[in-house]
Amino acid sequence: MLTPLYREIRPEGWLRRQLEIQAHGLSGHLHEVWPDVRESAWIGGACEGWERVPYWLDGLIPLAHLLGDESLIRTANRYVHSIIARQQEDGWICPCAKEERAGYDAWAVLLIGKVLALHCAFTDDQAAEDALYLAMKNLHNLLQSGEIRLFDWGKFRWYEGYVPLLHLYSKKPEDWMPDLARMLRDQGAEYENFTGLWKRPMNKWTFETHIVNICMMLKSEALCCSLLGEAYTGKAGRLLAILERYNGTAVGTLTGDECLSGTGNQQGTELCAVVELMYSYSWLYAVTGDRQWADRLEKAAFNALPATFTDDMWAHQYDQMVNQPACIAFPGKSFFRTNNSEAHLFGLEPHYGCCTANFSQGWPKLALGSMLRSCAGVVIAHLLPASMQTDLDGKSVCIRVKSDYPFRHSASITVSAREPAAFELAVRVPAWAKDVRLNGKKAAIRSGHIRLRRTWQGETELTLTMTAAPHMVRRPGDLRAVEYGALVFSLPVETEYRMKEYTQNGVARSFPYCDYELIPQSPWNYGFAGRALCVREHPIGDVPFSSLQPPLTISASMAQVPWDWADGYDSVPAAYPASRTAITPAREILLVPYGCAKLRMTEMPLCRDT
Ligand SMILES: [Zn+2]
């Protein structure tokens, strides 16, 4: 099993800038501007006392420590200590009275356990370790005695409790820990029973088709293997085959607004689902070592994640769409199946506030997983710019990756060891990579990785190069999407940002944490008039996924086709064009990374005779 190097890893280059943008944006200021965190019941206030503060801390803690940002570390510590200070004598840690426990959804117990385990991994906080131990022991006692039971969210997210249990078990195993794990599973939902519900959108809200539940669940078997020593049977792959066939998107996510929504390219995907999918894939890669999970993680992380924030990361969408040429509130009936008419606006808490708190984990956990410890040494899971210093073979070793991946397809890796240190350095090679070379020579790849087992001494420089060809992939309805390496490309639509400042239910939206409608200022109804695709590299600016200065473009010959809005709407395109016959001469269009294009078309037809 691969494990994170919590305290040893430091993001660099564009990845660090991205984390800094997040820290300067809503994540780093949520406790100042949002009542559900600022005045949360978790710290003695009168506002929400369930999932919002834990969701936020689950991202803020790794963000603060990876950046070494003392101010954010103090903020995270203050919240953790305030929560611990309110723990009851028997170990119950959530903000609800004793007589209300049976009706309090235990999902929050599992979630705060996950947060405390993360905090402990970054610190030497014995008080937090003790609080976590007591909280999970208390959960064991309450479930065993029948004083509480899992229901609703707790029942559908039972496996989340395995994350804190794994932390405790790895430190000091005790029999009640696997016992609690089995109790959680016994009371929890078995998703293999629900697959029949995933094949056609239901247009109603259910736990069984809830997109965030499903994205979280994908890691459940990997967690069971780790904690209970069971064999991995490939459950995530089996379930994903069904989910992707009936609900897959061009950017490796699933549709769900907020329940599974089918394969339509204008259907929404909730932001919580994007970050939970990434987290599940990171566990699947860590447990199985199978590179497909890291490939899948990158596709979501480098496309769906950046696409759904403004460049300053102060505003986000609840729902993003693959074909999204406008983000304008629906004046009448919502286009979404179970979300309101503003779920696709960029803002503080469009539709609902879960994503406002939960999105914080996306970038930091990706950075945390870029290099991992293996039983033989270290794995570079993602060729992201980062460095780490750790002890290997009893010697201090530093590994540094310099790269602009995924915007470029090369990396320089420096291994520094003052004393001879014997260990394996493995580098994951994405499945799409061609002509993979290490120091100019064709690299040997075994099980998706370059494996260098040797005694390292002094400074060793490795240069890794890969190539990729831009190409079109087929999408439902015989449409095409363009991929290049880990990136998906979209036709950008010129955008006017219309700011909306207001107060609703006592929560202010004022710049920079205001809402925006995005109004299209250029045509979007295009098809591919040729198959040639030509990549152009541009400088990577201060905002890596900039909507104004994309670090890569792909030129394509395109022409407009008859393609109207969906019936009854004037800001959602029909799923498919009325015809594929060009109505304008072809011209060169520069496609940009999906993550850079806030208004975009991604799935488009080949024009007739192309
Ligand atoms: Zn959400």
Cα 386 to middle of ligand 1, angstroms? 29
Q: Which DSSP state fits 303?
A: I
Cα 357 to middle of ligand 1, angstroms? 8
Distance CA 35, CA 32 (A): 8
Cα 27 to middle of ligand 1, angstroms? 15
464-478 per-position pLDDT tens digit: 999 999 999 999 999
**SS3 category, 77:** helix
Cα 254 to middle of ligand 1, angstroms? 14
Instruction: Look up residue 126 and give its two tokens.
Output: 């014995």
pLDDT at 299: 98
Q: Are the CB atoms for 538 and 551 separated by under 8 Å?
A: yes
pLDDT at 581: 97
Q: Which spans in 86-203 are helix H?
A: 107-122, 126-145, 152-156, 162-171, 176-187
Q: Are the CB atoms for 354 and 51 separated by under 8 Å?
A: yes
Instruction: Look up residue 40 and give its two tokens.
Output: 């949360």
Q: Are the CB atoms for 214 and 260 separated by under 8 Å?
A: yes
pLDDT at 566: 97
Cα 2 to middle of ligand 1, angstroms? 28
pLDDT at 610: 80
pTM value?
0.98
Q: Please name the residues in contact with 356: beta carbons below 8 A apart, sequence gap of 6 or more.
A: 26, 30, 34, 52, 316, 348, 349
Cα 524 to middle of ligand 1, angstroms? 28
Residue with tokens 């992380």: 301
- Name the helix (H) or strand (E) containing 487: strand 487-492
326-344 per-position pLDDT tens digit: 999 999 999 999 999 999 9
Q: What is the mean pLDDT of residues 285-313?
A: 98
Cα 361 to middle of ligand 1, angstroms? 12
Cα 39 to middle of ligand 1, angstroms? 20
Cis before 164? omega within 30 = no
Grade residue 171 by pLDDT with cuts at 50, 70 and 90: very high
Q: What is the mean pLDDT of residues 80-99?
A: 97
Cα 326 to middle of ligand 1, angstroms? 21
Q: Are the CB atoms for 558 and 587 separated by under 8 Å?
A: yes
Cα 455 to middle of ligand 1, angstroms? 47
- Domains of the chain, residue spans: 1-188, 372-467, 471-601
Cα 577 to middle of ligand 1, angstroms? 31
Is pLDDT larger for residue 257 or for residue 609?
Answer: 257
Q: What is the mean pLDDT of residues 271-296?
A: 98
Distance CA 39, CA 34 (A): 8
Cα 522 to middle of ligand 1, angstroms? 31
Cα 593 to middle of ligand 1, angstroms? 24
Cα 270 to middle of ligand 1, angstroms? 6
Distance CA 485, CA 464 (A): 15
> Between 70-85 and 26-33, two packed helices, what is the crossing angle to 10 degrees?
50
Q: What is the mean pLDDT of residues 187-191?
A: 98
Cα 168 to middle of ligand 1, angstroms? 28
Fold of 372-467: Maltose phosphorylase, domain 3 (2.60.420)
Distance CA 39, CA 604 (A): 46
12-58 per-position pLDDT tens digit: 999 999 999 999 999 999 999 999 999 999 999 999 999 999 999 99
- Name the helix (H) or strand (E) containing 32: helix 26-33
Cα 30 to middle of ligand 1, angstroms? 15
Cα 601 to middle of ligand 1, angstroms? 24
pLDDT at 609: 84
Q: Are the CB atoms for 107 and 51 separated by under 8 Å?
A: yes
Cα 114 to middle of ligand 1, angstroms? 18
- Name the helix (H) or strand (E) containing 3: strand 3-4
Q: What is the mean pLDDT of residues 92-106?
A: 97
What is the chain's length?
A: 610
Cα 578 to middle of ligand 1, angstroms? 34
Distances (CA, A) of 476 to 252, 316, 348: 14, 27, 33
pLDDT at 243: 98
Distance CA 367, CA 43 (A): 29
Q: What is the mean pLDDT of residues 239-246?
A: 98
522-564 per-position pLDDT tens digit: 999 999 999 999 999 999 999 999 999 999 999 999 999 999 9
Cα 112 to middle of ligand 1, angstroms? 17
137-154 per-position pLDDT tens digit: 999 999 999 999 999 999
Distance CA 217, CA 236 (A): 8
Cα 161 to middle of ligand 1, angstroms? 19
Cα 304 to middle of ligand 1, angstroms? 14
Instruction: Look up residue 99 and give its two tokens.
Output: 């007589």
423-434 per-position pLDDT tens digit: 999 999 999 999
Q: What is the mean pLDDT of residues 579-597?
A: 98
Segments of 493-549 assigned E as strands:
495-500, 502-504, 507-509, 515-520, 526-537
**SS3 category, 173:** coil
pLDDT at 526: 98
Cα 257 to middle of ligand 1, angstroms? 10
